[in-house]
Amino acid sequence: MQIGCWIKKEVLLAYPAIIYFLIAFNLIHFTTALARDQNQIPYFNFLEINLGALLMGKILIIANTFSMMKIFYNKPLIYNILWKFFIYVIFIFSTITLDIFFHFFSKLKNMNETLQFLSIEITSPVFWSLMLWIILVFLIFVIFTEFTRVIGKLAIKKILFG
């Protein structure tokens, strides 16, 4: 019975973030696919996108409980927003770059060629449009979660739904 209550609590805590990232990541994937040539290797496939959204929703809920994320907890809200945003951007860039590296390495099996293709990909406009999209999605997420933390869930529900 206690396990069921714990699972219910965890699902209720993570589902808004999961739904948000499911929608956002699929939109990003769609717009990135429109910008790429047909013969280029896509950054992610549909399954990776949806699994990433599920994991991201839960990981961010867990990450927000770490003391490192609460350094500016009692400061003005902008400090906490910028701090979390900075941490997330570093994490996002390194994760996406590593994922692209492993995609190329699994196909090419040669470190030098993989690094050459990675440098070409990282300097492409499509890569930077992807990064800007994802950074914007995370900025919106951080701002909204911080406002929700300060104002409260009930007040946000009342503002949004009356």
- pLDDT tens, residue order, the chain (162 aa): 688 887 787 777 778 888 898 999 888 888 877 777 776 666 667 888 888 888 887 777 777 777 788 788 888 999 999 998 998 888 888 888 888 898 889 888 889 999 998 898 889 888 888 889 889 998 999 999 889 888 998 998 898 888
What's the structural domain count of the chain? 1
Please indicate, yes or no, whether the overall pTM of this predicted structure exceeds 0.85. Answer: no
127 vs 121: CA distance, rounded Å: 6
Token pair recorded at residue 89: 């951007």
* CA 68, chain centre distance (Å): 18
Closest CA to 10 of 58, 64, 63: 58
74 vs 92: CA distance, rounded Å: 26
pLDDT at 1: 67
Spatial neighbors of 147 by CB under 8 A, at least 6 apart, are 77, 156
The residue type found at 94 is S
3-state helix, strand, coil in the chain (%, to 5): 85, 0, 15
- Return the beta strands (E) in the chain as ranges: none
Containing structural domain, residue 85: 2-161
In the chain, how long is the greatest CA-to-CA distance?
A: 58
